[in-house]
Structure 1
Amino acid sequence: MTTRLLHAGFGVLATIVGVAAGHLVAALTEPAASPVLAVGSTVIDLTPTPLKEWAIAHFGTNDKTVLVGSVLAGVLLLAAVAGLLARRRFALGAGLLVVLVAVAASAALTRPTAGVADLLPSLAAAGTGVAALAWLVRAAPGRAGGAHRGDQAGGASRRGVLVAAGALAAAAAVMGGAGRWITSYRTRPENVDLPAAADPAPAFPAGLDDRVPGITPFRTSADDFYRVDTRLTLPVVSLGSWSLTIDGDVDREVTFSFDDLASMELIERDITLTCVSNDVGGRYVGAARWLGVPLTDLLDRAGIDHTSADQILSTDVDGMTISTPLDLATDGRDAMIAIGMNGAALPVQHGFPARMVVPGLYGFVSATKWITRMTLTTYAEQDAYWTQRDWATDAPIKIASRIDTPKPLSTIDAGRTVIGGVAWAQHQGGVEKVEVRIDGGGWQEARLGPSAGQDYWRQWYLPWTAEKGQHTLAVRAVNGEDEEQTAARATPFPEGSSGIQQIVVTVA
């Protein structure tokens, strides 16, 4: 039994060493080709939509960590089997390791932008993993020096195993750490001095941040801004090689460098973005000041007056595609290709060096990060990633509101307090009114914070004298077109959630 456990451990350790080697090579070439990440990305693509939504709802922004951990756990379980097979016949164990790596290599090659170089991390993982397994098996008791009887031989064999295992564990730690450091260094945004906007946003008003404890800040910092996408690792993008091409059903194909975009007349706008996966009362919404080139200015350079296209099929640097309805993107709203966020260049996690921002549409049809191509085409001719999975094509953001304070299921002190939160109705006249209902009573109008435009959310609050006991609080918003937030419940799939948030709090 001890020998079997030992060899199972050999398989696990050899695989960890191989994965670390593959990760290091991927960090130097293409991070997305790292074996575990390549398999994880394929799993994401193959996962049914309901399961994806369940993972986002239950794990939030940790869904990717859970996925990678699950993939790694499955790999290590099979690696233990490989170690057991190697105990009986080394070729069998080594063969299973090679099969595992072959799966990762196939996954890496299915990426839309994959090339032959994307095989290198898997080849490194296979060679290193098999070599590590061979070293461990040779050093095991009953092999080589351990084949002779006697305490001295047995001790030497045990020492050989410890030396081999220690050296390999150290090598895995060094290679894994170096891979993480190199990836993080390569994905840092380059130093960019952004020009001033030709059409700047108005002075940003002071919100209720200091007046209502616990309320969401009026402006979301880049670090706190939500991130929901299919990527398990951030792309490596160099400004010197990056470009944005507009092609398809246009008068002329045009390509822009980052400097080309930065030299155009830029606009600056305060815009709230919302993810379609945001459930009622959810956190996948953020508000920031964006700097960029009006989308229509870029499309005019390509010429679309005679186009028969009904969508902009945008593609990111790794081949991810998103469909944006052309009529909505060009109907006068402040759609842009953004290059700045909150007064600085875009952070890598939010799309550096450029991303699409279209106010009033959920991100899955409007917010392509790391964008590198826009193709004018039709929905009949080409499907994007999400439309292939039966999500909606036109996806206007629904009127919504959220209670930030008090927190759901929290216990608060009796007496004077406030109920507060945020509400949004992008490109629908903005938020005109917010109402709160306490314990099923009548709707009471809340006080609104300042406005930063119809495409930006509003903070709100209602003074409340809280009496002891359990209370139910609900909130709804009304937009500038006098349309109320619907009470009809809907899940995020296929066109966004809806309903009234209702929470329970205890007053002690």
Structure 2
Amino acid sequence: MTSSYHNPPIPPAHTPAFHNPPSRPAVAGILAGAAGLGLGELLAALIGPIRSPLLAVADRVVDLSPTGVREWAISTLGTLDKPVTILGTLVLLALASAGLGVLAARGRRAAAWAAAGAMGMGVIGAVAAWSGRGDGMGSGFGALAGAAVSAGALWALFGATRRTTPGVGGRDTRAPALKPDPAAAHGPNPESEPDVELDHEAPLLSPMRRRTVLGGLGVAAIVQLALAGAIRVVGGRTQAQQARSQVTLPPVDSPLAPLPKQTASAPGAGTPGLSPLITPNDDFYRIDTAFTIPSVDVDTWALTIAGGSNGPLTLSYDDLLAREQVEIDCTLSCVSNEVGGDLVGNARWQGVELAPLLAEAGVPEGATQVGATSTDGWTCGFPIETLDRPSGDATPPAIIAVAMGGEPLPLAHGFPARLVIPGLYGYVSACKWLERIELTTWEDFTGYWVPRGWSREAPIKTQSRIDVPADGATVNAGPTTIAGVAWAGIRGLAEVETRVDGGPWRPANLGPKLSDATWRQWWTDWNATTGSHTLTVRATDGAGNTQTARPSRPDPNGATGWHAVVVTVR
């Protein structure tokens, strides 16, 4: 009886370089994407003209979103709309990166496609930077550099290989020692495998090195993103805050009368829960398109007034402070404010009157619009006739504001300078971090929100709001105070009325009047009876126009309707 032996089979050439559970390639893809994003963010923080890839993409998401979606986000999320948008963009980037990781693990060709996909994501980020409010072609460099890192990491982890010979480098794939076959003496066994050593492809990285690379990618992402955040948020903002803290506001030439004192014992105005006559700076609403608050260097900042017949007029921050200072009391309102909403606030502002500055620059014949541009590229515009004020008109003038609530403008509200235009919604007038004013026409200048479905002209509509009791509140039967605020652009308020359960309208008491451009507090007494009741309010402006009951959405030029709350009396 004879015996024979065979060499062990050689692994087929198409055997995958390595196998992974589906979750590991996904994690590797996310880490590769995070490392690339971290580099892009760090470059943006270190080199001014480079835009943050994340914020550039988030900015374009906002720009390309339908008006209804943006309106829902503002009305539902309020000041959280920006963090939620950034978080959503991060989730999309993570999902895309995970998908590229899973694709790359399917072989060299798939890894090449995944690396190309990572570069494609970088191109999207660069295009977002170029087409947004960037600073030239260099603004997209961070996205491209980060994409190159992500693509390189995916290729190194999944696509790169090295040629090995069994037993030479890499793992030992030689066959075990074989026992002699007596039949070999009679000639070769045709059924046996040829005893040859063939080269084959193996992964560039061993499993251990692969884990090391993944860990390095994770650490790099964390360190880079942390440094970028520290430089952008802490460093830049700290410098701006320090500069702001060193500002000494010049005195106002003709200051307004001191604000009336409001105490808890004051009738009506002291009602707990009623909005104060002046909104504290920290509580003033903030709605804008800036994902990060611009940190402006006042030493290099300058305001340019362009388009004038006398040539450009350029003013430094010190120049503005040296000009004649005025004070105005003015209520600002966001056009996205729903009926009864809180995207409205009242403040005492200090600054330089706008009209004389434009006259100094020279208002050209045919100019119909005043355009404004922020340091981050945001734009707005309003009719030039808005600035017309007949002699003796008590309406507060439009100003370039440098102070709010008796202190230099907070960073979040436009430091070092912003526009305050009484009577107009913010989206056409309230340019924060002001950098440029332009005397122009409607045909030659278009504000940011106009092509996105909002009206070109936007006077503030008459509105009233019930602050107390709140909607859904439970109150005790007996004497109860109903109170709130009302405003009407620059038309002033003639009357505020309330009614219960659709009954007759009853006039409310009005609080102090600071100017025709500010809100006024109001209150009325109600003998509450047990049960569920609907309380409604309406206001009449100084021209005798009562706000309409017809409800409408904020877009395209402001919400309308009466505010009502439902309360339970026990």
Query: Is the TM-score greater than 0.5?
Result: yes
The answer to whether the 8 A contact 2:118-2:148 is kept is: no
**Aligned residue number for residue 63 of structure 1:** 81
Range 453-462 or range 275-284, more displaced:
453-462
Q: Does 1:487 align with 2:545?
A: no
Q: Does 1:478 align with 2:528?
A: no
**Aligned residue number for residue 153 of structure 1:** none
The AA in structure 2 aligned to 1:199 is: S
Range 408-417 or range 456-465, more displaced:
408-417
The answer to whether the 8 A contact 1:139-1:164 is kept is: no
Change (3 A) 1:366 1:344: same
Deviation at 1:133, TM superposition (A): 3.6
Deviation at 1:163, TM superposition (A): 4.2
**Aligned residue number for residue 143 of structure 2:** 122
Equivalent positions of 1:386-425 (< 5 A) are 386-425=449-488
**Aligned residue number for residue 252 of structure 2:** 197
Indicate the percent of aligned positions where both proteins have the same amino acid. Answer: 42
Instruction: Give the secondary-structure state (helix, strand or coil) at the position aligned to 1:427.
Output: coil
Instruction: Give the secondary-structure state (helix, strand or coil) at the position aligned to 1:265.
Output: coil
Which deviations, in whole Å up to 9, do the C-alpha atoms of 1:2-24 show, x marking residues without a partner?
52221011101211222122222
Q: Does 1:239 align with 2:298?
A: yes
Q: 2:309 aligns with which of 218, 242, 250?
A: 250
Change (3 A) 1:221 1:132: farther
Which deviations, in whole Å up to 9, do the C-alpha atoms of 1:134-188 show, x marking residues without a partner?
5654999xx9x99779xxxxxx966655544444333322222222221123133
| TM-score normalised by structure 1 residue count | 0.91
**Structure 2: segments with no counterpart, 5+ residues:** 1-18, 174-204, 391-395
Q: Does 1:322 align with 2:400?
A: no
**Aligned residue number for residue 223 of structure 1:** 282
Change (3 A) 1:408 1:336: same
Change (3 A) 1:431 1:116: same
Deviation at 1:46, TM superposition (A): 1.7
The AA in structure 2 aligned to 1:169 is: G
Counterpart CA distance in 1 for 2:220 and 2:133 is 32
Q: Does 1:443 align with 2:505?
A: yes
**Structure 1: segments with no counterpart, 5+ residues:** 150-155
The answer to whether the 8 A contact 1:111-1:318 is kept is: no
Instruction: Give the secondary-structure state (helix, strand or coil) at the position aligned to 2:466.
Output: strand
The answer to whether the 8 A contact 2:308-2:358 is kept is: no
The runs of 4+ residues in structure 1 deviating greater than 4 Å are 134-140, 145-149, 156-163
**Aligned residue number for residue 84 of structure 1:** 102
Which deviations, in whole Å up to 9, do the C-alpha atoms of 1:256-285 show, x marking residues without a partner?
111111100010111110111111111110
The AA in structure 1 aligned to 2:441 is: T
The answer to whether the 8 A contact 1:468-1:506 is kept is: yes
Counterpart CA distance in 2 for 1:500 and 1:146 is 78
Counterpart CA distance in 2 for 1:161 and 1:416 is 74
Q: 2:272 aligns with which of 197, 208, 213?
A: 213
**Aligned residue number for residue 311 of structure 1:** 369
Which structure has the larger Rg?
Answer: 2
Counterpart CA distance in 2 for 1:139 and 1:356 is 57
**Aligned residue number for residue 402 of structure 2:** 339
Which deviations, in whole Å up to 9, do the C-alpha atoms of 1:404-427 show, x marking residues without a partner?
122112233333332111111231
Q: 2:352 aligns with which of 293, 313, 326?
A: 293
Which deviations, in whole Å up to 9, do the C-alpha atoms of 1:206-231 show, x marking residues without a partner?
24667211111222122211111122
Counterpart CA distance in 2 for 1:20 and 1:112 is 21
Counterpart CA distance in 2 for 1:60 and 1:475 is 23
The answer to whether the 8 A contact 1:280-1:499 is kept is: yes
Which deviations, in whole Å up to 9, do the C-alpha atoms of 1:409-451 show, x marking residues without a partner?
22333333321111112310x2232211111111122222222
Instruction: Give the secondary-structure state (helix, strand or coil) at the position aligned to 1:33.
Output: coil
**Aligned residue number for residue 171 of structure 1:** 220
Q: Does 1:274 align with 2:333?
A: yes
Change (3 A) 1:404 1:135: farther
Deviation at 1:361, TM superposition (A): 0.8
| TM-score normalised by structure 2 residue count | 0.82
**Aligned residue number for residue 152 of structure 1:** none
The answer to whether the 8 A contact 2:308-2:362 is kept is: no
Which deviations, in whole Å up to 9, do the C-alpha atoms of 1:459-484 show, x marking residues without a partner?
12222232221110111112233322
Change (3 A) 1:147 1:475: farther
**Aligned residue number for residue 182 of structure 2:** none
The answer to whether the 8 A contact 1:10-1:137 is kept is: no
Question: How many equivalent residue pairs?
Answer: 498
Q: 1:458 aligns with which of 509, 514, 520?
A: 520
Counterpart CA distance in 2 for 1:239 and 1:307 is 33
Aligned CA-pair RMSD: 2.6
The AA in structure 1 aligned to 2:512 is: P
The answer to whether the 8 A contact 1:31-1:183 is kept is: no
The answer to whether the 8 A contact 1:339-1:353 is kept is: yes
Counterpart CA distance in 1 for 2:510 and 2:207 is 72
Change (3 A) 1:433 1:3: same
